[in-house]
Amino acid sequence: AAGGRGLAAALAGWQISRRNRAAGPVLLLVLATALGMLAIGQGASWDRSQDDQADFRAGAAVRVLASRTPQLGQGGAYAQVPGVAAALPAGQVGLELSDGRTSSLLALDARGTAGALLLRGDLAGGGADDGPGAATDGVLRAVAPKDRAPVGVELPARTDRLRLTATLRSLKALPPAPGQDAEAHGIGPAHDTGPVPATLSAQVTDRFGVPYTLPLGPLAADGRPHTLDADLAAAAGAPAGRPAEPLRLTGLVVDLDQTPVSHRQQLTVTTARAVTAHGAARPLGAPAHLAWKAQITDKSSSVGEAFGPRAGRSGVPAGGLLSQTYDSGTKNEWGGSMTTVRITAWHPARPPLAAVATDAFLRDSGSKVGSTIDVPVNGQPLKAKIVRAVRALPGPADSAPATGGLLADFGTVNEALSDRGAPPLAATEWWLRPEPGAAARVVDALRARPDTDPGQVLVRDEIARQLHDDPLGAGPQTALTAAAAVAVALAAVGFAVSAAGSVRERAREFAVLRALGAPRPQLARMIAAEQGVLIALALAVGWALGTVLTRAVVPLIVLTEQAGRPVPPVLVELPAGRVVALLAAVAAVPLLVVAAVGLRRGDPVQDLRSQGAL
């Protein structure tokens, strides 16, 4: 029986079941493993949280918060910075909700933001470890407008000046409106001052959908052609500023003073030319489906009155670009006397904005996915349909995290404002996506620009570095690591002493087995099996306890530099590689001790004599 193959396993099991003196060393191993896993989990989770917070606070790899370059010239200027893969406008609008709550609208160029929005995947409905853009790009696609044919007349690249040839003539003088006492109010035919001159401005829209109004100059109502120029280069702040091309001519604005007698007038743009940076003038033709529409803006006087201004027929004349009739309006004696005719390229009716809302916004506003809400932007209530919900969105750079409420497409917001004749939503920030490995070069180039304050360049990597250097987080991490190292050392010493003492105490037992014919290798296997089971059991229990402890404790001790809860919430990390290394480190010394004890050679006769068996 002593030479049987199952002797080692049987004796090992018998010894484990009858001896409880190994409980102390095993508990030390359990404690060391659990504490080591807590240290690993706290360190990895803290590091991950700092990176997640940096992504959320920055929103993009590089953000430019302010610039002295005119708005028209910022998009092209930042796109030309060496190392920049994409420069994207961002507009922020504060929103007032019920019960004094506040939120914000983030308008981004959803058509070009792919890969630029830094948002952890689980906040956008994906997995926390999804690659960059895997979840956020789906959110952006939800608010991006469907492919639509561009409107207006496209300008050639590097256009410095827009040159129009226009004619303004009076078709007829209009009689006083019914009920008006012409002579009493000084508005009769006797007071007619003739055709009404106007001041023209061109509306030019960049590739992000932002319209800019550029002055063309005064136009006499004499029926003769006049050449008017809009200086795009100056409006963009050249040479430092460059527009985001391609640009499109999408409208004209006609301003005029009302006179005692209203005139029905016709504005005709016969030719248009784009003067490029090289001085060449290229003619602009009307696209096949070009059409115009006109409206009298709200800033005009006497809008809706019988004697007030009116917009007439819009058209595209043969060989020309635009034809528009309007009534100039009769001057009144008790208020302002101004008419503004806004002519824009016609387009089909547009649906409400598509918006993504945070869970907090839905809760605070009482809305839900599928709801259509009014979003006030530049004094205009824009209709927006909530198409998707996310857990959180970045807010303005100067506000607390998690203040973002809605996400919409930047160009679509400006299209809706343009349809209402409202001022556009300016790009308050520019979010830049550098080429791989070029972030530092981009930041250096931006901070060297004379139009940019270095402090207005927000860099994600700098935020992450600052967060990682926070001593409030480094302190607990260092303390836990030190405690885990001490626990591992104590467990190793305790287990080694226990194993060595157990073998010495059982020397007589081993000598009897040797005398009965048990081979030495079989006894070594018995010791290895006995101690190995204890080590494996300790590691398994320690791993389970450490996992539970880490997931319960780490979210409570990973805090911000102000000792608050981080945004986004902490994700508990237990890297498999580090855990395996910990288990190997905890088991290394006990296994070496077991191997040394198992390979120890002794004289069974001498052992029996020393124990009094012979």
Predicted confidence at residue 425, as pLDDT, reads: 93
CA distance 207 to 347: 17
Grouping H, G, I as helix, E, B as strand and the rest as coil, residue 369 is coil
Predicted confidence at residue 284, as pLDDT, reads: 92
How confident is the model over 469-496, as a mean pLDDT?
Answer: 78
pLDDT in tens, 447-474: 999 989 999 999 999 999 998 888 776 6
Predicted confidence at residue 201, as pLDDT, reads: 96
Answer yes or no: is pLDDT of 53 > 60: yes
> Which of 46-50, 317-321, 608-612 comes out lowest in average pLDDT?
608-612
Phi-psi region of 519 (alpha: psi -120 to 50; beta: other; left: phi over 0): beta
Answer yes or no: is pLDDT of 413 > 90: yes
CA-wise closest residue to 389 among 407, 414, 409, 410 = 407
Grouping H, G, I as helix, E, B as strand and the rest as coil, residue 33 is helix
Predicted confidence at residue 614, as pLDDT, reads: 47
Predicted confidence at residue 497, as pLDDT, reads: 74
pLDDT in tens, 190-244: 567 789 999 999 999 999 999 999 999 999 999 999 999 999 999 999 888 999 9
- pLDDT: which is higher, 164 or 563: 164
> Which of 102-111, 297-306, 387-396, 456-465 comes out lowest in average pLDDT?
297-306
Sheet harboring 457-459: ordered strands across? Answer: 372-377, 380-390, 353-358, 406-409, 102-108, 84-96, 429-434, 62-64, 457-459
Predicted confidence at residue 395, as pLDDT, reads: 74
What's the whole-model pTM score?
0.81
Q: Residue 8: pLDDT band by 50, 70, 90 thresholds? A: very low
For the chain, the farthest-separated pair of C-alpha atoms sits apart, in whole angstroms, at 147
Instruction: Share the mean pLDDT of the chain.
Output: 83
Most confident of 335-339, 381-385, 469-473, 536-540: 381-385
Predicted confidence at residue 609, as pLDDT, reads: 54
Answer yes or no: is pLDDT of 7 > 70: no
How confident is the model over 340-369, as a mean pLDDT?
Answer: 91
Q: Residue 2: pLDDT band by 50, 70, 90 thresholds? A: very low
Answer yes or no: is pLDDT of 505 > 70: no
- pLDDT: which is higher, 534 or 391: 391
CA distance 295 to 310: 8
Answer yes or no: is pLDDT of 22 > 50: yes
Long-range contacts of 471-474 (CB under 8 A, 24+ apart): 472/559, 472/561, 472/563, 473/46, 473/50, 473/558, 473/559, 473/561
CA distances from 329 to 105, 128, 199, 262, 462 (A): 39, 62, 16, 5, 59
How confident is the model over 288-316, as a mean pLDDT?
Answer: 87
**Secondary structure (H, E, C), 173-220:** ECCCCCCCCHHHHCCCHHHCCCCCCEEEEEEEECCCCCEEEEEEEEEC
- pLDDT: which is higher, 176 or 375: 375
> Which of 136-145, 245-254, 367-376, 395-404 comes out lowest in average pLDDT?
395-404
pLDDT in tens, 314-352: 999 988 999 999 998 888 766 568 899 999 999 988 889
Range list of H helices, 103-151: 136-143
Grouping H, G, I as helix, E, B as strand and the rest as coil, residue 111 is coil
Q: Residue 599: pLDDT band by 50, 70, 90 thresholds? A: low
Predicted confidence at residue 536, as pLDDT, reads: 84
How confident is the model over 416-433, as a mean pLDDT?
Answer: 91
- The answer to whether 49 touches 573, Cβ cutoff 8 Å, is no
The percentage of residues in the chain with a pLDDT greater than 90, rounded to a whole number, is 39
CA distances from 489 to 129, 483, 540, 593 (A): 34, 10, 19, 14
Answer yes or no: is pLDDT of 613 > 50: no
- pLDDT: which is higher, 87 or 531: 87
Answer yes or no: is pLDDT of 12 > 50: no
Buried-exposed string 266-302: b where 16+ CB fall within 10 A, e elsewhere: bbbbebbbbbeeeeeeeebebeeeeebebbbbeebbb
- pLDDT: which is higher, 107 or 519: 107
Q: Residue 1: pLDDT band by 50, 70, 90 thresholds? A: very low
Answer yes or no: is pLDDT of 496 > 60: yes
